[in-house]
Amino acid sequence: MSTQPQPTDSASAPAPSRGADAPRSLAEALRSRDDDALAGLLRARPDLLNPVPNDLTQLATRAGTRASVVRALERLDRFAQQVAEALAVASDPTSYDEVRGLLAGDDGDAAVEAALPRALATLHEQALVWGPDDRLRLVRTARELLAPAPQHPSPTGLGPTVAEATAGMSPTRVQDIVTAAGLPTTHDPVSAVQSLTALFTDRTRMSALLDEAPAESVEVLSRLVWGPPYGQVTADPARHLRWLLDRGLLLPTAPGTVVLPREAALHLRAGRAHRTPEPVPPPVEAAREYRPQVVDAAAAGQAYTALATVEELLKDWDEGGPAVLRAGGLSVRDLKRTAVALDTSEPLAAFWVELAYAAGLLASDGEADERYAATPAYDAWQELPAAERWSALATAWLAATRT
């Protein structure tokens, strides 16, 4: 991994935090947060509040569920996603230095080093990463989603580690690979795998090994290096493939299938997990430009459409609104009927109902057989000028949690 110096204290690259009392779990990490930090987590991941968790242990459990983690990962910006992907192929736990090396490579990248602290802070805030910077841990579910596996490729294009790829290999075969790679024989397969891993992660020794490779072997590696890392071989592979297989640069994963181990790929990539790190957001270019007059006219048209739709909704419901469900809300049947009456889709019909309710124009009638009906405020709202009626709806929409 990269041995670039640690970022210095600055606004763009704060020194990594290190703590003697590192949390032992995500729940423990959440307990150490202050109210503002917990509020930030819930703002970033509002699904964690549905239903409201009883305590921080339940919150941590919910934050690690597959559905919630997938939703959180999808909302990250591109570089924060790349940092999460790098964490998934790093050791567990890992360090700030290792993650930086995976993103910046052996030669370093000033833009990556400047953006990394902010991206890691985002992952911490959203409880996707926990622990101090010398013991960073990606939550288990995120690691399972992003780490390389035969069932799904890693976004990085990397394959399994040497240890993972040789897990089912016979001890004799492991020792043969170690010997062919020019390493001393060891007394057990575990130390043999460790010795081979150390070779592949040593830039000097690995370069010397590859200098001995036939040109055809190097060409094979170049095709696999950025992924997918898997290839097919016959029962009697060609000489240049045999050279790679003998030295563990290709490891069998199934009959006829081989993989380039992660450590070897990272050497060939100069330490980078991604071909193109994206620490700087791409420039936003206008897809099409409109004159201000056109924009104003279109906005005014949509505002009048909103007013007309709310009026049509409440007029329809004023003549016998739908029943209020025992748990609150609207039945599926009534929502479908409302969508037909408004000549719109069911999601849009639900939006207009929620907007009218949020604006105070719609509520339960309070009778024993509760039904939705227009409120007295609706009568007053109808008497207002169009601009003020629109302002009331827009204000309610801005304060809503759903858009």
Per-residue model confidence as pLDDT tens for the chain (403 residues): 333 434 333 333 344 455 557 889 999 999 999 999 999 999 999 999 988 999 999 999 999 999 999 999 999 999 999 999 999 999 999 999 999 999 999 999 999 999 999 999 999 999 999 999 999 999 999 999 999 887 788 899 999 999 999 998 999 999 999 999 999 988 899 999 999 999 999 999 999 999 999 999 999 999 999 989 999 999 999 999 999 999 999 999 999 999 999 999 999 999 999 999 999 998 888 788 889 999 889 999 999 999 999 999 998 887 678 888 877 788 899 889 989 989 999 999 999 999 999 999 998 887 878 888 888 999 999 999 999 999 999 999 998 776 5
The verdict on 131 and 168 lying in the same domain is no
pTM exceeding 0.75: no
The verdict on 135 and 61 lying in the same domain is yes
In a domain, 133, yes or no: yes
The verdict on 305 and 384 lying in the same domain is yes
The verdict on 200 and 134 lying in the same domain is no
Domain that holds residue 128: 26-146
The verdict on 139 and 167 lying in the same domain is no
The verdict on 50 and 84 lying in the same domain is yes
The verdict on 240 and 193 lying in the same domain is yes
In a domain, 11, yes or no: no
Picking from 207, 233, 268, the residue at the C-terminal end of a domain is: 268
In a domain, 287, yes or no: no
What lies within 8 Å, CB to CB, of 238 at 6+ separation is 216
The verdict on 260 and 319 lying in the same domain is no
Which CATH number characterizes residue 383's domain?
Answer: 1.10.10
The verdict on 129 and 182 lying in the same domain is no
The verdict on 186 and 264 lying in the same domain is yes
The verdict on 174 and 236 lying in the same domain is yes
How many domains does one find in the chain? 3
In a domain, 90, yes or no: yes
In a domain, 273, yes or no: no
In a domain, 238, yes or no: yes
The verdict on 354 and 254 lying in the same domain is no
Asked if 280 contacts 77 with a C-beta cutoff of 8 angstroms, the reply is no
